[in-house]
Amino acid sequence: MVTTRAATAADQVPQGTVLLSRFWHPALHRWSENSFESLGHAMHLFLDESGWALRQQQPLDGPHAYELIFEARREDFSRPSTEEMLQDVGLTAEDVADMMDRVDRESDPAG
């Protein structure tokens, strides 16, 4: 089940974001949140790109607020997490952050 709500000024989201979605990701053991320009944009991600099937949709109180019930593929939630894949190759999340920081510094002409 995915719920959506209107983006507010307090949300730190990209410009043009109209709504936020949220669902519990069982493989990651955390909430997954995404920002979208429209409900159609969200549906495109969940239906076309993720391959989920919409089973039920109902509006909730408030602008851009919906409850969306999807049938998702089991493999979408049983893959190893990014952290697990990094550990498999001998890296930690901190190692990756350090590498990305080095790449950013090296690609910055002022740096």
Are residues 54 and 13 part of one domain? yes
- Span 66-88, mean pLDDT? 75
- Span 91-111, mean pLDDT? 73
Are residues 89 and 67 part of one domain? no
Mean pLDDT of the chain: 85
Q: Higher confidence at residue 9 or residue 6?
A: 6
Are residues 27 and 57 part of one domain? yes
Q: Is 45 exposed, middle or buried (0-12, 13-18, 19+ CB in 10 A)?
A: middle
Are residues 97 and 60 part of one domain? no
pLDDT for position 60: 96
The boundaries of the domain holding residue 107 are 80-111
Are residues 41 and 23 part of one domain? yes
Are residues 49 and 92 part of one domain? no
Q: How far apart are the first and last CA of the chain?
A: 45
Are residues 91 and 52 part of one domain? no
Phi and psi at residue 20, in whole multiples of 5°?
-120, 140
Are residues 58 and 7 part of one domain? yes
- Strands (DSSP E) along 7-100, which ranges? 19-25, 30-36, 53-59, 66-71
